[in-house]
Amino acid sequence: MIKTDVLIIGAGPTGLFCAHQLGIIGLNCEIVDNLDKVGGQCIELYPDKPIYDIPAIPECTGEELTNNLLKQIEPFKVKFHLNERVEELKKDVNRWHVKTSGKITFDVAAIIIAGGVGSFEPRKFPLKECEKFENDSLYYSIKDKTIFKDKTISIFGGGDSALDWALELSNTCKINLIHRRDGFSGAESSVQKVKELNKTGKLSLYTRYQMESLIGDNKINEVKIKHENGKIEQLKTDYVLGFFGLIMQLGPILNWGLNIDKKTIEVNTENFETNVSGIFAIGDICSYPGKLKLILSGFHEGALAARGSFKYAKPDEKLRFEFTTTSKTAQERLGIKK
């Protein structure tokens, strides 16, 4: 079991800056995130889009902001646990025991939820019958592409993931690429390649089609697709892949006894603690009168939540308010040599 002062759930900008604020006041923390990379919505939703309302930074992209925050917390050597979702919390006297999807366990004094709008999960097919085949002959991500060799694969979607996998797998498999419209959101060069392969018969492209139904007992044998004009095609297929991007879901957070309203967690504005002592919520996931879903608000909330968690981590010590410009202790923690 990993023992640390605070566990931060969510490695978006709010969680990252909160780690900085914890470090400054001498608390250790580790961060868990369900994505495979740090940055949260900044990286997943808009890595290249400019942001204009970070104080004192006239313009930066989501990726630049993330990289700068990582640089800012470097002195604290924060440990990240990516691809992990927090599943269970248990109170143990004055501490919290936390377990993740990958069975990592933590023993912490406080938990700060900086989970944005929830954890990112793949968006699924609307059809109920798809669940039955999921992770067997139907996938939303690919871990081992060798299982597809010499098989027929029907890929749904029009973004980069769908196009890239269609191109890559077309070398070793028979591919049907099905998309709801003629236009694609993926890179133009990939679209051109897909169209060429379609002409030469190395891939079959079906546009203006969506999934109608799946046929098969334990494994998928065929997929029925429906054109927008009503025409139905029946395609033999061994596997179905869906690439519809990611959706944010609160997931297990709903089961922790927190007051939740409209997918957000109620907090007080003194230290952003929830109705459960020792659990704080900051950033897009928290709500209070006047809440603004801005990154700058998340920074403020993180600064206060970090201080709020001090009494749980060091119950016998008193937290002194200090400035980084003048505090020797803070500067030592930042590794500044004079």
Per-residue string for binding with other proteins, 264-283, x by CB under 8 A?
Answer: --------------------
Candidates 79, 181, 195, 236: give the one binding other proteins (CB under 8 A).
181
Stretch of residues binding other proteins (CB under 8 A), selected from 6-14, 52-60, 154-162, 213-221: 154-162
241: amino acid identity, one letter: L
Indicate whether 225 belongs to the interface with other proteins (CB under 8 A). Answer: no
Indicate whether 117 belongs to the interface with other proteins (CB under 8 A). Answer: yes
Q: Which residues contact 145 (CB under 8 A, 6 or more apart)?
A: 168, 169
Instruction: Pick between residue 107 and residue 266 the one whose CB is nearest to other proteins.
Output: 266
- As measured in angstroms, the least distance from the Cβ of 54 to other proteins is 16
Stretch of residues binding other proteins (CB under 8 A), selected from 52-60, 66-74, 135-143, 157-165: 157-165
Candidates 104, 215, 226, 244: give the one binding other proteins (CB under 8 A).
244
- As measured in angstroms, the least distance from the Cβ of 220 to other proteins is 20
Handedness of CA 177, 178, 182, 184 (dihedral sign): negative
Q: Report the candidate in 150, 144, 123, 129 with the shortest Cα–Cα distance to residue 213.
A: 129
Per-residue string for binding with other proteins, 60-99, x by CB under 8 A?
Answer: ----------------------------------------
Indicate whether 249 belongs to the interface with other proteins (CB under 8 A). Answer: yes
Stretch of residues binding other proteins (CB under 8 A), selected from 81-89, 97-105, 151-159, 328-336: 151-159
Per-residue string for binding with other proteins, 286-305, x by CB under 8 A?
Answer: -------x------------
- As measured in angstroms, the least distance from the Cβ of 238 to other proteins is 24
Q: Which residues bind other proteins (CB under 8 A)?
A: 41, 45-46, 117-118, 123-124, 126, 157-159, 179-181, 183, 185, 210, 228, 244-245, 247-249, 263, 293
